[in-house]
Structure 1
Amino acid sequence: MTLCSYAQEYDTFKVNDGTMFKAKSFFPKFSWDVTPMYYHFGDIDRVLKSDEVEFISERTNFICIEKSHAYNQLGDQVLGTKHEVEAFHDIKPETKVLFYYNSYLAWPYSRFNKEFTPEGIANNPELAKFLFVDPKTGKLRQKTKPDFSYYFDALNPDFREFWVASAVQGMRISGADGIFIDRMNVGLNSDYPNDKIVEIAKAKGEMMSELKKQMGPDKILVGNNAAQTEEVYPYCDAIFFEHYNSSVTNKENLLEEWNDMSRIAKDGKISIYRFGAKGKKKIDITLGATDTEGMEQRSKDQLEYFHACFLIGTQPYSYFQWNWGWNLEDGNLVDYPALQRPLGEPKGQFKRETPNQWIFTRTFEHASVWVNTETKKAKITWH
């Protein structure tokens, strides 16, 4: 079943507490027909083939093009994004395609960041003022595995001005319908200097406020892991739940996220709930697909549990993402029939079996969901 009903004018939905969600005119069209899907991927080597565009378009109308897409072919992430914006809009004009930009890591794949390399800094030392200096070494902080990047210094007001201008320009040149901003989780254990967290969170809020203003009123601003960053949250149209390690997939955090999804919906914002299948041995960040052997079957075996975790907490304008990595070949071209089965509207909010157990249920028009987040077992019964 394809998402043909996305073309219809759905714009008002009931949140689990009975309040009404009124979609903004620039949001993607939402439907409960099947599990609402979001796709986020890149291929560092090339642009998409026409059959790949068709495959993804049949499954979603909400997409982000990753940070190094087509870099080896076109030499610029912006051009890679532009190519896919045009390709997706050509086959399905209502599709919303996002430009990716990072608020902390200076990935050198876009025209704006291409000089943030050791060679670029050596040729133009002034660029170093935009980058974070490690107080322990007195040198620019570097991320070296699996690929290289410096870190931005959000506390520099000149950098913030440069960053906002770059993000807006990237969106406009590419023709994207909005921007996905990475690294919005500013807190303890979030890789930021602990003694600077309060200042950095405030700076990130200023960056996102100005970005939202300069983007214009009809573009989507997505904040990755921004649900608990109160300085950033007000300026986001959508909140992304990345689930980047085991600490954010434990039973306590999943329950907190379901409550977050309800809060986000009540605020008229989008939730994107991403899970990755486990079992891939090598780590990669858009350097090309690695260690894919056996992963398609493992992802199919693991899908039901994570799909159920999404369905327990889903609200109007909640989207599900499922793969095992950010590369195009890391599950983004795999057919998962369960994700295209008729779903229908939820019949109320989730129920917890007992207050001290971790078993939850929820019923939809065409599905009954049971999940135990302590044992990580689930069952979706389709009817």
Structure 2
Amino acid sequence: MRLILALSVVLALSVQALHAAGADGHPPFSWGTVPVYAHLANMSEDFTSEQHDFLAEHFDFITIEKGHAKRNRGSTEKGFAIAVQEIKKRNPKAKVLFYWNSTIKIGGYEAIDDFPKGGELVSKDGEPMTIFSCPFCDLSQKEVQDWWADTASVAVRECGADGIFIDAVGKFSINSRRKVLTPEKIEALNDGMVAMVKDTRGKVGPSKLLIQNGVSIDPENIGDRLLKVTDGAMKEHFVSAQPGNKEQLAESIEMLQEVGKSGKVLVIKTWPGFDWRNKEIMKKPREERAKMAREAITFPLACYLIVAEPYSYFCYTWGYQGNDTGTFEWYPELDKPLGPPQGDAKRDGWKYTREFAHASVYVDIETGESKIDWRE
């Protein structure tokens, strides 16, 4: 029995070392400091040399968003390829993902020229379905599934992507779609998405990352179905500077703990209490927004630390597009020694605590009170 236990420990440590080195396609991971993730793009132009330096120095795990540098490079694919090349020149171990929306036909990609004729989704009344003036893709059609998977494969094979960030996986099942699509059509669309992602896995290979935006442990939910195929997920709206609905947050904490323990990669996206849609705040100088974010970071970071497992990454910005939505800010907490967790988080009502080698974490998701005591 002791021999079996010892072998199990050695195997677990070997697998963790393999992941840490990124040898199996996983992003590098370490508890040395808070593990972080970047998600951004600049539609107008390439990142500057200084911005490439910053990304390469601070992040080993990055998604380049839709539309990057398309205005001066002509397409997202060209802009993405240059960004990957520049980042990897500076940080060869970095894993950089290609953003590819699973549901919406977004412009700015060369691949749009090959979109299948008649592949756009229509409602049960025959009306074109759009969001933000972009058509939905009819994923019940095999030709559309093939087009999507082939584009993902090209991004990996020709543009240098280490994998695909699969956005908008739950868009077909929300209430507004249920009003204009039959239950049978929604089921066919979701089945088509699962088939499409499985096909993509085969085309990009097992060592490339597939990260979905949307996470669930409900077997009836498309997020849970896809998680059996993908390597992990982003939880895009985990917490902001204030707790919000404590019951929902407690459910999210429990879910993320379960998914993290399963070995999946998790991106925990948090917010400083505002985002790019707040026009008044976005009119303020960048330095003022950065100050607000610095003052608000403790609660989001503490909530992340409560749920973090190996290959869980912290993301803290107020947007994705442009140079002043938070990615190029940095925070003293992210340089402090952290060390591995000394066990799971403990819950007492709405209060959570957790110990790390160099930090003690406390958070009350009812009041928003939070504290991280850092130790050398």
Shorter-normalised TM range: 0.7 to 0.9
Q: By percentage of residues, which structure has more helix?
A: 2
Deviation at 1:268, TM superposition (A): 2.5
Could you tell me which amino acid in structure 2 is paired with residue 339 of structure 1? L
Secondary structure class of the residue paired with 1:243: strand
CA–CA separation in structure 1 for the residues paired with 2:146 and 2:327: 35
Superposed CA offset, 1:105-145 (max 9, x none): 111011112587xxxxxxxxx73x21111335x3322223x
Sort the Cα spacing of 1:187 and 1:226 in 2 relative to 1 into closer, same or farther, 3 A.
Answer: farther
Encode CA deviations 1:12-34: one digit per residue, 9 max, x unaligned: 569xxxx9796362112210010
Q: Does 1:49 align with 2:48?
A: yes
After superposition, what is the alpha-carbon deviation per residue over 1:317-352, rounded to whole angstroms, capped at 9, x for unaligned? 100101000023201111211112111111100011
The structure 1 residue matched to 2:297, chosen from 285, 292, 303, is: 303
Residues 65-98 of structure 1: per-residue CA shift (max 9 Å, x gap)? 0001101110110111101110111001111011
Give the AA of the match of 1:215.
V
Match of 1:374 among 363, 366, 373: 366
Alpha-carbon contact 1:269-1:317 (below 8 Å) kept: yes
Identical amino acids, percent of aligned pairs: 29
Q: Is the 8 A contact 1:243 1:249 kept in 2?
A: no
- Deviation string for 1:345-383 (max 9, x for gaps)? 111000112xxx211111111111111111222111111
1:365 — aligned with what?
357
SS at match of 2:188: helix
CA RMSD of aligned residues (A): 2.8
Which letter does structure 2 place at the counterpart of 1:232? L
Unaligned runs of 5+ in 2: 1-10, 218-222
Give me the whole-angstrom Cα distance separating, in 1, the residues matched to 2:289 and 2:25.
36
Q: 1:183 aligns with which of 168, 175, 178?
A: 168
Q: Which amino acid aligns with 1:254?
A: L
Alpha-carbon deviation of 1:281? 6.3
Structure-2 separation of matches of 1:291 and 1:114: 37
In the alignment, the residues of structure 1 paired with residue 31 and residue 83 of structure 2 have an alpha-carbon distance, to the nearest angstrom, of 26
Write out aligned runs for 1:276-287 (5 A).
Answer: 276-280=271-275, 282=277
Q: Which amino acid aligns with 2:236?
A: E
SS in 2 for 1:235: coil
Q: Secondary structure at the match of 1:152?
A: coil
Structure 1 counterpart of 2:206, from 187, 197, 217 = 217
Match of 2:127 among 139, 143, 151: 139
Q: Distance in 2 between matches of 1:190 and 1:181?
A: 21
**Cα distance in structure 2, aligned partners of 1:239 and 1:12:** 22
Per the TM alignment, residue 208 of structure 1 is displaced from its structure 2 partner at its CA by: 0.9
1:230-258 alpha-carbon deviations (Å, 9 max, x no partner): 32111111211111898x96323333333
1:32 maps to what in 2? 31
Q: Say whether the 8 Å CA contact 2:18–2:24 is kept in structure 1.
A: no
**Is 1:199 aligned to 2:188, yes or no?**
yes
8 Å CA contact retained: 1:279, 1:298: no
Q: Secondary structure at the match of 2:298?
A: helix
1:188-337 matched pairs, under 5 angstroms:
188-189=173-174, 192-193=177-178, 195=183, 196-228=185-217, 229-243=223-237, 250-280=245-275, 282=277, 291=283, 293=285, 294-327=288-321, 328-337=323-332
Give runs of aligned pairs for residues 338-357 of structure 1, distance below 5 A: 338-353=333-348, 357=349
Question: What letter is aligned with 1:330?
Answer: T
Higher mean C-alpha deviation, range 359-368 or range 189-198: 189-198
In the alignment, residue 272 of structure 2 is paired with which amino acid? A
**Does structure 1 conserve the Cα–Cα contact (< 8 Å) formed by 2:354 and 2:362?**
yes
What's the TM-score, normalizing by structure 2?
0.85
CA distance in 1, matches of 2:238, 2:361: 24
Match of 1:157 in 2: 142
Contact residue 97 and residue 178 of structure 1 kept, 8 A:
yes
Gaps of 5+ in 1: 1-10, 117-125
Structure-2 separation of matches of 1:377 and 1:179: 37
**What is the rounded CA distance, in whole Å, between the counterparts of 1:169 and 1:197 in structure 2?**
28
Provide the secondary structure at the position in 2 that maps to 1:200: helix
Question: CA 1:358 to 1:245, structure 2 compared with 1: closer, same or farther past 3 Å?
Answer: closer
The CA deviation at 1:190 is: 6.5
Q: Which residue of 2 aligns with 1:120?
A: none
**Cα pair 1:241 1:274 within 8 Å, conserved:** yes
Alpha-carbon separation, structure 1, partners of 2:278 and 2:237: 15
Q: Say how many residue pairs are matched.
A: 348
Deviations 1:187-211 (A, max 9, x none): 7537543624433322211111111
Counterparts of 1:11-160 in structure 2 under 5 Å? 23=19, 25-113=24-112, 127=117, 129-136=118-125, 138-144=126-132, 148-160=133-145
Partners of 2:362 and 2:372 within 8 A in 1: yes
Three-state SS of the structure 2 residue aligned to 1:326 is coil
Q: Could you tell me how far 1:182 is from its partner in structure 2?
A: 0.4
Deviating more after overlay: 263-272 vs 65-74: 263-272
Distance 1:79 1:12 in 2: 40
Provide the secondary structure at the position in 2 that maps to 1:46.
coil
- Would you say the 8 A contact 2:276–2:325 is kept in 1? no
Q: CA deviation at 1:42?
A: 0.2
